[in-house]
Each structure stands twice: as C-alpha cells, then as structure tokens.
C-alpha cells in the first residue's frame, strides 16, 4: 500500500567531524544482526550527503510523490511510510552532538531541500530530533530552513 509523501526528515550519521562514511558502512550498521548492527531489513535513509557534498542514493524511489512499500526506509519510527530520509555525514565533534556540516554539505543540503520542495510543494521538512528523543541531526532544522528561505508552511511543527 502506498502513502502520500508528507515529510522530508534530516539526519546525521553521528560520526566524528571529518570522518568519511560510505554507503556500505550505513548498510552494515543498519542491516547487520544485533548486537553489531540494528538488525533492520533495510537501510534507514533514502539518500546520503557525503563530506564533499556528493549526494548518494541509498534506496531507490519512484519520484512520484507516494511512498510505496519497497521505498520505505527505517529513519524514524512512526514516520517511515510517509517520509524520505536524508543523512549527512558527521554530527559529532569532541564526542558531543554538533553541526559539523562542511560548506559543501551545507550547500548540497540546501539544494536537496529546495529541490525536494519544488518536486513536492506540500512536503514538510523536519529534523529527526523533532520526531523522537534524539540529538540527530545535531542542528536546528527549522532555523536552517528559515535561513535558506523555506516557507513556514513547509517547516515541520509538532504542535
């Protein structure tokens, strides 16, 4: 069963600033059996923004504004069947949550968010920390959205 795409959720890999992460790393972390992995059947993100700003697709999707069963990722419990999830590499500095986005990542994220909004004008943009008790993505997504000119109607507000 398909559900209408309603959310774009932004995540971080929760790795130290400057440490590269590959799509194989992400898949291993998510799909390896516990206790080394999470034991999920699929990766948690649709796309990943690398340190150099390269955006890599991690789970194919059909770009039609609906989330089909085969497109679902495990990004945020209760918000997977109606969302896309994008992750940037980083989010930890000196062992603590921090906005570690490099300029290339910031620019790529801005383009990614604006393109997604252009494709799906009804979508809301949220940080993982707005949907669950997490520090991820280690920055204020609503503030970021306002800084890049995203309309208020497209910024997720849990209230």
CA distance 100 to 39: 28
159 assigned to some structural domain:
no
88: domain CATH number?
3.40.80.10
pLDDT of residue 148: 98
What is the four-CA torsion angle of 99, 13, 94, 139, rounded to 10 degrees? Answer: 20
- Region 60-72: what's the mean pLDDT? 80
Which residue's structure tokens are 């991690």? 58
Provide the β-strand partners of residue 96: 93
13 assigned to some structural domain:
yes
49 assigned to some structural domain:
yes
24 assigned to some structural domain:
yes
pLDDT of residue 128: 95
pLDDT tens track for 9-59: 999 999 999 999 999 999 999 888 888 878 777 888 899 999 999 999 998
CA 66 to mean position of chain CA atoms: 17
58 assigned to some structural domain:
yes
Cα torsion 110, 11, 32, 25: sign: positive
Q: What contacts 149, CB < 8 A, 6 or more positions away?
A: none
CA distance 118 to 139: 23
Kindly report the pTM of this predicted structure. Answer: 0.93
* Domains contained in the chain, number: 1
74 assigned to some structural domain:
yes
**Domain limits at 29?**
3-154
Question: Based on C-alpha coordinates, what's the Rg of the chain?
Answer: 15
């Amino acid at each position: 069963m398909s559900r209408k795409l309603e959310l774009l959720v932004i995540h971080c890999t929760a790795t130290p600033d400057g440490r590269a992460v590959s799509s194989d790393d992400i898949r291993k972390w998510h799909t390896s059996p516990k206790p080394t992995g999470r034991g999920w059947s699929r990766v948690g993100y649709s796309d990943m923004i690398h340190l150099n700003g390269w955006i890599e697709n991690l789970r194919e999707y059909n770009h039609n504004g609906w989330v089909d069963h085969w497109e679902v990722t495990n990004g945020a419990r209760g918000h997977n069947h109606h969302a896309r999830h994008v992750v940037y590499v980083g989010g930890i500095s000196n062992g603590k949550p921090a906005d570690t986005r490099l300029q290339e990542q910031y620019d790529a994220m801005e383009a990614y968010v604006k393109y997604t909004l252009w494709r799906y004008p009804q979508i809301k943009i949220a940080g993982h920390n707005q949907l669950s008790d997490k520090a991820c993505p280690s920055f204020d997504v609503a503030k970021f959205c306002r800084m890049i000119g995203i309309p208020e109607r497209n910024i997720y507000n849990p209230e």
